[in-house]
Amino acid sequence: MDHKFTHAADAMARVVIQNALFFGRAKASALVIPWCTYTDPEVAHVGLYEAEAKARGLDVQTFTEPMAHVDRAVLDGDTDGFVKVHVRAGSDRIIGATVVARHAGEIISELTLAVVGGLGLRTLARTIHPYPTQAEAVKRVADAYNRTRLTPFVKGLFQKWLAWMR
């Protein structure tokens, strides 16, 4: 087992109990196990890295949002770090994510839920995050994905509207 963590031991114990007592066919190898290293800032990860995805023949598109762009991180003085999300090229399906942030271990859970539940960045973009929170970094990544879906005409209108708002 690659992941020697308390939460991995707990998840595997649940697989054993499910299979032994409830005629389950769950596999420990199918578990999606995030991890976090409690440095400052913390480093957390779930799923595949870009190199792993490429080694499996998957085309990857990556979206990164620096914590310095997140209002709550600025307010808290926690601007070191980023949220990086890999999706399968041409889709919003998340295949891996890395978070470096003061509270990366908290932020990675939303992305882990997305991987386990098959929720894509489009769903995360529709999810309202309270303001100001550091988890808004995830929403900003999802918004960056959504902007890639705009046609040049709509993008032009959008940029004009943004300029007018400023």
Ligand X SMILES: Cc1cc2nc3c(=O)[nH]c(=O)nc-3n(C[C@H](O)[C@H](O)[C@H](O)COP(=O)(O)OP(=O)(O)OC[C@H]3O[C@@H](n4cnc5c(N)ncnc54)[C@H](O)[C@@H]3O)c2cc1C
Residues that bind ligand X (CB under 6 A): 4-7, 9
Residue 14 Cβ, how far from ligand X at the closest point, in Å?
Answer: 12
2 versus 152: smaller Cβ distance to ligand X: 2
HEC profile of the chain: CCCCCHHHHHHHHHHHHHHHHCCCCCCHHHCCCCEEECCCCEEEEEECCHHHHHHCCCCEEEEEEEHHHCHHHHHHCCCCCEEEEEEECCCCEEEEEEEEECCHHHHHHHHHHHHHHCCEHHHHHHCCCCCCCCCHHHHHHHHHHHHCCCCHHHHHHHHHHHHHHC
Residue 39 Cβ, how far from ligand X at the closest point, in Å?
Answer: 11
44 versus 53: smaller Cβ distance to ligand X: 44
Instruction: Tell me the residue number closest to ligand X, measured at CB.
Output: 5
16 versus 157: smaller Cβ distance to ligand X: 16
Residue 10 Cβ, how far from ligand X at the closest point, in Å?
Answer: 8
7 versus 126: smaller Cβ distance to ligand X: 7
Residue 38 Cβ, how far from ligand X at the closest point, in Å?
Answer: 6
